[in-house]
Amino acid sequence: MRGRFNAIAIGLAVLAGVAPRAQTPPAQGPGIYLHLADETGEHVVPLHGLMVTEIKQKGTLKMVMTQGFAKGSIEGSIRGSAADVRVKSGDVTLQLILADPAASANKGFPDDPTRMFSGDYMPPSAKSAEEFVLLRLTPTKDNTRETQLGTTGRGGSSNKSKDAVELASAMSGPRAYIVHPKAPLPPGEYGLTWAPNGTAGQMWDFGVDPK
């Protein structure tokens, strides 16, 4: 299982559909963390980023004189048919800790080449939780999970996706946010992606199992 459980007690009281209250973030580095509870207590589990691969366009994309680009779909996938990190409740809470812009000045990538090429790092340019989108993922027979990253139309690309899940967020500290879906997630595969301009290059995945 990627990532190790960090037994850090937390005091979160999150109601579905209501913006979470601000909390003091744990002593963690920049990254995305999943809060969960089991028989041993409450835990904070780091999610590991993956590069989005095989980004492709579907639909009619030819130029039309009066309509611009016809509507199409931007599809992407990540490796593996299921996430390693799993929860048994759809009441999911995520914590985002953004990189310090001063420490990341003039750096678009981390110093570690392995993390850079794997996608397992917080984008230094990320500025707020609103730039992140939670997407439903569909497993395929090719051992990948696909999703609609966005659509194309007369105005170009858009971050509006039929697979997007509506989120609520609140600041919990400097460069830190608590994020949760506005409604409990049904069982399935999910990925949080950074898409400030309607495109996505990285994804942090997790799965929701039936109770």
Task: Dump the DSSP string for 61-86.
Answer: --EETTTEEPPEEEEEEEESSS-SSE
How far apart are alpha carbons 129 and 181 in whole angstroms? 13
- Tokens coding 95: 């914590």
Q: What are the extents of the domains in the chain?
A: 48-90+112-169+181-208
pTM as predicted = 0.77
pLDDT digits (tens, 9 = 90+) for 37-82: 777 888 899 999 999 987 777 654 443 434 444 567 888 999 999 9
pLDDT digits (tens, 9 = 90+) for 88-142: 888 999 999 998 877 654 455 556 666 666 788 888 889 999 999 999 999 999 9
State which amino acid sits at residue 118: S
How far apart are alpha carbons 176 and 47 in whole angstroms? 15
